[in-house]
Amino acid sequence: MTRIGLLTSGGDCQSLNATLRGVAKSLYRIYDNLELIGFEDGYKGLIHGQFRLMKPSDFSGILTIGGTILGTSRQPFKLMKVHDEDGFDRVEAMKVTYHKLGLSCLVILGGNGSQKTANLLSREGLNIVSLPKTIDNDLWGTDMTFGFQSAVDVATNAIDGIHTTAASHGRVFIVEVMGHKAGWLTVHAGIAGGADIILIPEIPYHIDNVVRAINERTQQGKRFSILAVAEGAISAEEASLSKKGLKEKKNAAVVYPSVAYELGAQITELTGHEVRVTVPGHTQRGGAPCPYDRVVATRLGAYAAGLIKQKTYGCMVCVTSGDIAHVPLGEIAGKLKTVDPKSQLIKEAKMVGISFGDE
């Protein structure tokens, strides 16, 4: 009998279930005598031995359903190696669960922090195959993460929905897009939604340039402007400060709920325009996976099963130039893939007149 563990870790996204299905359906076809163990709520389930025996029927009908049938949670990597006051050792606990269950392999679906823990467990001698999940698309070693395209769809729909009301009222609108410290989601949704200004963490903005871009549109007779602003967008002034300096500045200033509101107040003050802010927030992680994600998820899942069959462990499945491949966890864990300000993507966006607030 072969017993394989599955867990989904970190923030959820639309195609976790589609990926689990891809892995499970392929594994059930490969092994005659297979038990799949589903850990509850990510690494938490592995740490505390909370799991259930999955049935093939658990993976039916879930291709189009967002979220994760296993549940998930954030278990920060930096706390993994820290023992509790009572001496509880999470890494040891995870190893004990793995060995007690006699797992041949553990399949981990997760983003940046989760890949770091996957690498740690691999180094501790567990057989690990991981898959690249996140709406942020910020995982090193893969061109694409599953969940990203579905989130682009949601964020784009949010921008699309703003156009008519922005035009009717002649207002400036800011749509704040998720993405943590990376601007992938904002750039893609911004271009797809026809945003006039896109602000991302990788390209610190000057408020004067943002104001100029808005004023130029007004002078051209355009009644409205739409900004797609990443939740991690930062001004050039703030980017030049040390971590401590930035904290001091934030503490001394008026407290805004997020960057979009702060920017909105500045734009109103400097242009006299009425500004409205829309934050789609966690809706960007919700709903059904888009068809592209369903295909990627299925392919990544099937490929992961193939790796397990070959006993190729300690790696993350990835997308590279349209093909599915794998990379050693040690090469990718802890590295962030951010938008290159000099990339073709940004150059082309600028060519059609999108301002990134940097010039």
Site for ligand F6P, rule CB under 6 A: 11, 74, 111, 134-136, 178-180, 231, 285
CB of 129 to ligand F6P, least distance (A): 21
CA distance 57 to 103: 21
Q: In sequence order, which residues have a C-beta less than 8 Å from that of residue 342 and are 6 or more positions away?
A: none
CA distance 93 to 95: 5
CA nearest to 328, candidates 107, 106, 122: 122
> Residue 183, exposed/middle/buried by CB under 10 A (0-12, 13-18, 19+)?
buried
CB of 14 to ligand F6P, least distance (A): 11
Q: In terms of CB distance, is 11 or 42 closer to ligand F6P?
A: 11
Whether 136 sits among the annotated catalytic residues: the reply is: yes
Q: In terms of CB distance, is 151 or 315 closer to ligand F6P?
A: 151
> Residue 219, exposed/middle/buried by CB under 10 A (0-12, 13-18, 19+)?
exposed
Q: In terms of CB distance, is 11 or 38 closer to ligand F6P?
A: 11
CB of 232 to ligand F6P, least distance (A): 8
CA nearest to 31, candidates 311, 278, 251: 311
Task: Give strand pairing partners of 172.
Answer: 225, 275
CB nearest ligand F6P: which residue?
178
Q: In sequence order, which residues have a C-beta less than 8 Å from that of residue 178 and are 6 or more positions away?
A: 135, 136, 151, 155, 185, 231, 280, 281, 284, 285
CA distance 172 to 244: 33
CA distance 212 to 207: 9
CB of 289 to ligand F6P, least distance (A): 15
Q: What is the dihedral of CA 250, 198, 179, 168, to 10 degrees?
A: 100
CB of 143 to ligand F6P, least distance (A): 18
SS3 category, 7: strand
Q: In terms of CB distance, is 9 or 97 closer to ligand F6P?
A: 9
CB of 185 to ligand F6P, least distance (A): 7
**Among 58, 136, 196, 293, which one carries the catalytic annotation?**
136
> Widest CA span of the chain, in angstroms?
72
Q: In terms of CB distance, is 136 or 202 closer to ligand F6P?
A: 136
Q: What is the DSSP string of 104-173?
A: SEEEEEE-HHHHHHHHHHHHTT--EEEEEB-TT--BTT-S--BTHHHHHHHHHHHHHHHHHHHHHHT-EE
Q: In terms of CB distance, is 178 or 290 closer to ligand F6P?
A: 178
CB 8 within 8 A of CB 131: no
CB of 78 to ligand F6P, least distance (A): 15
Neighbours of 62 (CB within 10 A): 17
Q: In terms of CB distance, is 127 or 137 closer to ligand F6P?
A: 137
- Give the active site residues: 136
